[in-house]
Amino acid sequence: MVDAWISYGKTEVCARIPTRNFLGSIEPKEKAGVTDPKAEIERALGQPIGTQRLNEIAKAGDKVAIVVDDATRATPSYLMILPLLDELNKAGVKDEDVTVIFGCGSHRPVNPEEKEKLVGKEALERVKTINHNYKAEDQVFLGETSHGTKVHVNKTFAEADVKVLAGDINLHYYAGYGGGRKGLLPAVSSAETIQQNHALLVHPKATTGVLEGNPVHEDMMEAAKLAKVDFILNIVTNSKKELVQAFAGDLEQAFLEGTKLVDEMYKVPIEQRANIVVVSAGGHPHDINLYQASKAIHNALEAVKRRGVIILAAECPEGHGNEAFAEWMEKFTDLKRIEKEIRKRFVLGGHKAYYLNKALQKVTIILVSVMPDCYAVNTFKMRTASAMNDALRDAFELAGKNAKVYVMPHGGDTVPEYKTADQNDNK
């Protein structure tokens, strides 16, 4: 037997797989974290890519807005905030003139306990922090992109003299990559702006690790340029969330440099597909709800044969996480109807129903979570199991006793790339 331990909430579960069935573990090509994260961030800030240093861009009296990730991301923003404040202080900017905005996009607000965990106690004591509210009425209109997206953004951000985006770069299933311009759209954009941008995700180029020709990415970048973002600080972390490298400077150039490292680490070639893929969303906060955890299903699809089985280990203590996601799953079963609805009247959460239905057309999904069965089975059309090894037993019944199994411990971040040209493998 192979005992594969994978993250589940704030703990781990064990998948016991017969050795003869085990194909292997699909994991990132790990790089060690730097020994001194603060020094690495200071190095990046001191050697910005494609622009001046932040302490040369800002000046005394400037109002500064810094966007950081919300509680649905595991980004160690606390590593970035103090070095950014040091740079601003060198330029004569006072702490009271700096506002940190939690870029919640369409997610729930960050609570006080989460704020301290995200940016650290010292930063909370030094600067003002606010949650972005995507439904707020006082957002500022900045113009329209070439894709027709009307760009409305957070008022505090729009009115700042210096605008900074801080985040992490990772693979993203329709924007290509997280990080960079995503700190503006969706992070601090209005509901209408997010909806118009996300409606572009049905395009075939709107997929993981693709930027060229990807309308979602292009639209986000145009929006960030309309917002006149002055500077970004992005990091790339390993699977332990240790800082590997920091990238600072120009909105586009620094971001693109970071994506090269992400590709190196998180795109993993495989020689065959499996009948069963056991995938973890990555534990907390990646599996805080099904809305977030479902990203792992999309990545696991690349490693599983048609009519195979995906076992998703995701605790989901906050349930499904989005009412529209649930409503669309109940309302639509036909993929073409969902696609038509997205083009006509996109609703945030509807895109998750699109991707889950797309997956369900190809594979059976067994969910191991604390979500009530009535939701998982009736609304989201998945099978359920109360424990990982119950799920494996059911999967072998569906796929056969000789079924081959992959394990993906970091399913939200890792993208398998099937390289072999054997056409029969996916039949």
Task: Indicate the range of 18-22, 34-38, 71-75, 309-313 predicted with least confidence.
Answer: 71-75
**Total Cβ atoms within 10 A of residue 331:** 13
> What would the mean pLDDT of 39-50 be, rounded to a whole number?
98
Q: Is residue 216 part of a domain?
A: yes
Separation CA 118–CA 72 (nearest Å): 10
**What does the DSSP assignment read for 310-342?**
EEEE---TTTT--HHHHHHHHH---HHHHHHHH
Does 427 have pLDDT greater than 60? Answer: no
Band the pLDDT of 239: cuts 50, 70, 90: confident
Query: Among 63, 61, 232, 60, which residue's Cα sits nearest to residue 161?
Result: 63
The answer to whether 230 and 236 are in contact (CB under 8 A) is no
Q: Is residue 391 part of a domain?
A: yes
- Find the distance separating the first CA and the last CA of the chain, reported in whole Å: 28
Q: Is residue 245 part of a domain?
A: no
Nearest 5°: CA angle at 393, between 313 and 7? Answer: 20
Mean residue pLDDT of the chain comes to 94
Residues 6 or more apart whose Cβ sits within 8 Å of residue 135: 190, 191
Residue-wise pLDDT tens digits, 1-31? 999 999 999 999 999 999 999 999 999 998 9
Does 215 have pLDDT greater than 90? Answer: yes
Question: Helix 335-345 vs helix 350-362: angle between axes, to the nearest 10 degrees?
Answer: 160
- Which stretch, 106-115, 191-200, 418-427, has highest mean pLDDT? 191-200
Q: Is residue 173 part of a domain?
A: yes
Based on the fold, state whether residues 213 and 288 are members of the same structural domain.
Answer: no
pLDDT of residue 71: 79
Based on the fold, state whether residues 111 and 17 are members of the same structural domain.
Answer: no
Does 185 have pLDDT greater than 50? Answer: yes
pLDDT of residue 425: 46
Separation CA 88–CA 94 (nearest Å): 8
Band the pLDDT of 422: cuts 50, 70, 90: very low
Q: Largest Cα–Cα distance in the chain?
A: 69
**What does the DSSP assignment read for 199-239?**
GGGGSTT-STT--TT-HHHHHHHHHHHHTT--EEEEEEE-T
Band the pLDDT of 253: cuts 50, 70, 90: very high
Based on the fold, state whether residues 112 and 174 are members of the same structural domain.
Answer: yes
Which of the two residues, 120 and 347, has the higher pLDDT score? 120
> What would the mean pLDDT of 250-276 be, rounded to a whole number?
97
> What would the mean pLDDT of 117-125 be, rounded to a whole number?
92
pLDDT of residue 66: 98
How many alpha carbons lie under 13 Å from residue 195 in its C-beta half-sphere? 15
Q: Is residue 250 part of a domain?
A: no
Tell me the CATH number at 82.
Answer: 3.40.50.11440
pLDDT of residue 340: 87
Based on the fold, state whether residues 8 and 48 are members of the same structural domain.
Answer: no
**Cα→Cα distances 264→29, 169, 170, 178, 321, Å:** 7, 13, 11, 15, 32
DSSP class of residue 109 equals P
Based on the fold, state whether residues 119 and 170 are members of the same structural domain.
Answer: yes
* Residue type at position 283: G
pLDDT of residue 344: 80
Separation CA 46–CA 52 (nearest Å): 9
pLDDT of residue 9: 96
> What would the mean pLDDT of 191-196 be, rounded to a whole number?
93
pLDDT of residue 347: 82
Based on the fold, state whether residues 281 and 224 are members of the same structural domain.
Answer: no
Q: What percent of the chain is predicted at pLDDT more than 90? A: 84
Band the pLDDT of 241: cuts 50, 70, 90: confident
Based on the fold, state whether residues 75 and 114 are members of the same structural domain.
Answer: yes
pLDDT of residue 420: 56
Residue 96 CB burial class (10 angstroms; 0-12, 13-18, ≥19)? exposed
Based on the fold, state whether residues 47 and 168 are members of the same structural domain.
Answer: yes
Taking the CA atoms of the chain, what radius of gyration do you get in angstroms?
A: 21
Nearest 5°: CA angle at 242, between 238 and 243? Answer: 90
> What would the mean pLDDT of 112-118 be, rounded to a whole number?
90
* Residue type at position 338: I
Which of the two residues, 208 and 422, has the higher pLDDT score? 208
Based on the fold, state whether residues 41 and 120 are members of the same structural domain.
Answer: yes
pLDDT of residue 423: 42
Query: Among 303, 327, 313, 333, which residue's Cα sits nearest to residue 384?
Result: 313
> Which residue among 237, 259, 278 closes a domain?
237
Residue-wise pLDDT tens digits, 360-382? 999 999 999 999 998 899 999 99
Q: Is residue 64 part of a domain?
A: yes
Based on the fold, state whether residues 100 and 187 are members of the same structural domain.
Answer: yes
Q: What's the total number of domains in the chain?
A: 2
> Which residue among 194, 221, 237 closes a domain?
237
> What would the mean pLDDT of 64-68 be, rounded to a whole number?
97
> Which residue among 196, 215, 237 closes a domain?
237
Helical segments of 30-164, H only: 37-46, 54-57, 78-90, 112-119, 121-126, 155-159
Residues 6 or more apart whose Cβ sits within 8 Å of residue 423: none
Based on the fold, state whether residues 67 and 180 are members of the same structural domain.
Answer: yes
> What would the mean pLDDT of 46-75 be, rounded to a whole number?
94
Q: What percent of the chain is predicted at pLDDT more than 70? A: 98
Tell me the CATH number at 23.
Answer: 3.90.226.30
Which uninterrupted H or E stretch holds 305?
strand 304-313
> What would the mean pLDDT of 67-72 be, rounded to a whole number?
88
Long-range contacts of 11-18 (CB under 8 A, 24+ apart): 11/283, 12/283, 13/313, 13/368, 13/387, 13/388, 14/388, 14/389, 15/278, 15/311, 15/313, 15/388, 15/389, 15/392, 15/407, 16/389, 16/392, 17/278, 17/392, 17/405, 17/407
Residue-wise pLDDT tens digits, 323-357? 999 999 999 888 889 988 888 877 878 889 999 99
Q: Is residue 243 part of a domain?
A: no
Based on the fold, state whether residues 174 and 319 are members of the same structural domain.
Answer: no
Q: Is residue 253 part of a domain?
A: no
DSSP class of residue 410 equals T
Its domain, for residue 370, covers 2-27+268-426
